[in-house]
Structures are given as structure tokens and as C-alpha cells.
Amino acid sequence: MRELTKTALITGINGQDGAYLARLLLSKGYRVVGGMRRSSTPNVQRLEELGIANDVTFVDLDLFELTNLIRCVETQKPDEIYNLAAQSFVALSFEQPLYTAEIDALGTLRFLEAIRHINPKIRFYQASTSEMFGKVQAIPQDETTPFYPRSPYGVAKLFGHWSTVNYRESYGLHASSGILFNHESPLRGREFVTRKITLGMATIRHGQAEVLELGNLDAKRDWGFAGDYVEGMWRMVQQERPGDYVLATGETHTVRNFAEKVAQWFGFDLAWSGQAEREIGTDRKSGKVIIRINPNFYRPAEVDLLLGSPRLAEEKLGWKRKVGFEALTEMMCAADDRRVLDGRVQF
Ligand code: NAP
Ligand code: G4F
């Protein structure tokens, strides 16, 4: 491992991973520069929730604008750049494919160009994704599994991934790509299915909503805890040689299974009935329907199954996830229960 007290530039600082990574790097003595795009309202609630908003140096940063990236790199002089910013919501990428490609694909390339021209010694981490495996060609998926993306998001991220590999091979950049499987937390955006379910069940439990609408209940994901995964990102960047690593738990669960666990945590006795779009989830105790299917949440193409093998990361990086599925579910339920009770659902 390298000596610390360095400067790290994190793009997407206000997202889920940005917040956890900032906390990790601050704890290691880094100066953390957080890139955020301009917004008419302040947007640092996740950093505030972790109690670190005052410890980060903020810079205006939008992956759309090359000159902006160049100035950020020139003025902030980072030793390490963690490119976490993205249009990260798969469903939206079907609605906004061009924007998604601009940010997730070309945005990555813009950064690599900026580094190559300004200071090729900067170490670079690219937030790649298991969505690149899409229609999976092997089970479980690892660093050797061929890619077959199934969404504009997956396609765009694949461009970012191969650009990272290409700049490493062409120009010798210390550029690594983390192929991360789904990772969740109490800081997860509420549009993603896990958080949608924990927040949805909390609002139903406390009488603020009647029913939660979901899409495909049978999709399977390998869900880990975001706090564990940012440790893996940092470890990749500290390696003497850059590389590509899968971070995953090695376990997969259906959306249905996640909903059942959450319902149980909130004291519901969930029973499924009906088929396909008519399927419902009823609370046996109250007789009320608490889950319905809304086909608007189906996707034009689905990733049915993700299951990752973290073996390489465990062997070479010494990384191992600490939080399992049960603990993750409980952590998210408890956080949303408290937020709804306190009337403080900020993100
Ligand atoms: P997130 O919560 O959605 O955060 C994404 C961040 O990117 C937000 O802070 C957002 O800014 C910022 N952003 C979006 N467009 C931007 C632009 N044009 N310029 C600058 N910043 C922009 O995502 P996350 O879950 O933390 O994920 C972090 C990264 O890992 C993403 O690249 C995602 O695609 C990738 N990834 C995530 C997972 C996962 O399961 N979480 C798995 C694999 C890969 P605002 O705050 O202003 O919206
Ligand atoms: O929570 P999701 O929206 O996450 P998804 O699509 O797997 O993407 C996340 O993980 C990727 C890594 O594999 C990241 F790269 C990406 O940035 C993001 O963080 O959906 C998970 C599954 C899907 O199969 C979806 O169809 O849940 C299914 N689902 C069922 N009902 C739903 C819903 N998803 C959402 N968002 N909302 C629903 O109501």
C-alpha cells in the first residue's frame, strides 16, 4: 500500500458511493476534492448525513464539459481521480440514451484525455458495472466473462470501461476499472428498487401510503453494501499495477425475496397471489394489498440475473465484503423507519 496524505478528486461526490468514498478517504488523511454539478438547490445531504460535508473541498464539475475537467485537474492537482459521476439509473437510460452516453461514455473519455495531457501520473478509477454483463454469458460472472449489455446505460458504461483499458494499454496510465455489482445502503437513491422498497414499506407502515408499485419481481441481483465496495475501489487504485476487478458478494436474490424480507422487518405478513401484471402482495394481518405490479416499471430489455465472483479481488486486493444480505436489508429498513418517523426523508 502507498503512503497517504494525498489529494483525491471524486466526481459524483453527492451520490451514494461518493459520500462513502469521501468518508473513507478522509479517514485515511486524504484531502478530498468533491466534484459537483451546478444545481439551483444545495445537494449535500448524504455528506451531511455522514457528518463530513464541511471536510470536503467542492469544485464545480460536469462531465459534459472538457474544459471544465481540464481546469479542475490543473487547479486541484489530484494524485487520484475516482470517476463515480454518471447518469446511473438504468430505467432512465432508455428515456435519455443520448444524455446517458454523453456522460457515462464520453464523460469518461474526456477525463482520460485530460489526465493524459495534463499529468499522466494521476491514478484513475472508473466506476464500471455488472450491467455490462447484461444477458449473462456465464454464471457466475467474473473478469473474463464476455459482455452483453442490455440497456443504453450498459452500452455507455462499456465504452467507458474499454476506454479505460485502452488508455492504460496505449499510454501507460494507471487506470483501473471496477466492475461493481449492485451495492446498496441507507444512502441509496430512492428510485433504485431496494431503497424504493424500504422507503415504500416504511411509509405504508406509518400510514403515509397505501400501496407500493413495482415492476419485475423475478429479476435477480447480487446486492452488497456500498460501504464495503468503496474500500475495494481504493484498494484497486493503491495497487502497483492498474487492472480490472469484479466486486460482488457471490450471492444472488430476487426482487421478490428482498420485498419479503423488508415486509417482514416492518411487521407485515406478506402473501403473494395472482399472475404477472395481476400479481399482488397482501398483508395477511390487515387483509390490505400493499404491493401491486405496475408494468410502467418493466424495462424494454431486462437483465434477469446477476451473480458475481469476487475471487480475484479477494486474492489480489485482499478485499472482502463484510455486510451480508440480511444485515444490509435490516440496515436500510431501520434507516427508513427512523426517517419516516422523524419526518426527515431528505433524499
Ligand atoms: P448515484 O447515487 O446516482 O450518484 C451519481 C452521481 O453522479 C451524483 O452525485 C450525480 O450528481 C453525479 N452526476 C450525474 N451526472 C453528472 C454530470 N453530468 N456531471 C457531474 N456529475 C454528474 O450513483 P452511485 O450509486 O453512487 O454510483 C456511483 C457510480 O458507480 C456511478 O457511475 C454508477 O453508474 C456506478 N455503479 C453503481 C453501482 C451501484 O450499485 N450503486 C454498481 C455499479 C456501478 P447529482 O448529485 O447532482 O445528481
Ligand atoms: O435497483 P435497480 O433500478 O438497479 P439496476 O437496474 O440493477 O442498476 C443498478 O445496479 C447496476 C449494477 O448492476 C448499476 F450499474 C446501476 O447504476 C444501478 O446502480 O433495478 C434492479 C432490478 C431490475 O431488474 C428492475 O427491473 O429491479 C427491478 N425492478 C422491479 N421493480 C425495479 C422495480 N427497479 C426499479 N428501479 N423500480 C421498480 O419499481
Q: Does the beta carbon of 14 sit less than 6 angstroms from any atom of ligand 1?
A: yes
d(CA 304, CA 110): 32
Counting from 1 in the atom list of ligand 1, the atom nearest the Cα of 83 is 32
129 is catalytic: yes
Active-site position among 11, 108, 129, 145: 129
Q: What is the pLDDT of residue 8?
A: 98
Close Cβ partners of 54 (under 8 Å, ≥ 6 residues apart) = none
Residue among 16, 126, 192 whose CB has most ligand 2 atoms within 8 A, to mutate: 192
Q: Does the beta carbon of 99 sit less than 6 angstroms from any atom of ligand 1?
A: no
* 275 alpha carbon – ligand 1 mean position (Å): 35
* 89 alpha carbon – ligand 1 mean position (Å): 8
Other Cβ atoms closer than 10 A to 275 = 8
Q: What is the pLDDT of residue 339?
A: 98
Query: What pTM value is reported for the model?
Result: 0.98
Q: Does the beta carbon of 108 sit less than 6 angstroms from any atom of ligand 2?
A: no
CA-based end-to-end distance of the chain: 35
Residue among 17, 98, 108, 346 whose CB has most ligand 1 atoms within 8 A, to mutate: 17
Pick the closest to residue 313 from 186, 181, 187 (CA basis).
181
In terms of residues, how long is the chain? Answer: 347
Phi, psi of 237 (to 5 degrees): -70, -25
Q: What is the pLDDT of residue 44?
A: 96
Q: What is the pLDDT of residue 65?
A: 97
Name the residue at shortest CA distance from atom 19 of ligand 1.
62
Query: What count of Cα atoms within 13 Å lies in the side-chain half-sphere of residue 29?
Result: 5
pLDDT (tens place) for every residue of the chain, 347 residues total: 545 589 999 999 999 999 999 999 999 999 999 999 999 988 899 999 999 999 999 999 999 999 999 999 999 999 999 999 999 999 999 999 999 999 999 999 999 999 999 999 999 999 999 999 999 999 999 999 999 999 999 999 999 999 999 999 999 999 999 999 999 999 999 999 999 999 999 999 999 999 999 999 999 999 999 999 999 999 999 999 999 999 999 999 999 999 999 999 999 999 999 999 999 999 999 999 999 999 999 999 999 999 999 999 999 999 999 999 999 999 999 999 999 999 999 89
* 247 alpha carbon – ligand 1 mean position (Å): 17
Q: Does the beta carbon of 221 sit less than 6 angstroms from any atom of ligand 2?
A: yes
* 88 alpha carbon – ligand 1 mean position (Å): 5
Phi, psi of 279 (to 5 degrees): -65, 140
Counting from 1 in the atom list of ligand 2, the atom nearest the Cα of 192 is 1
* 264 alpha carbon – ligand 1 mean position (Å): 30
Q: What is the pLDDT of residue 4?
A: 53
- Amino acid (one-letter) located at 259: A
153 is catalytic: yes
145 is catalytic: no
- Amino acid (one-letter) located at 104: D
* 233 alpha carbon – ligand 1 mean position (Å): 14
Q: What is the pLDDT of residue 5?
A: 85
Q: Does the beta carbon of 91 sit less than 6 angstroms from any atom of ligand 2?
A: yes
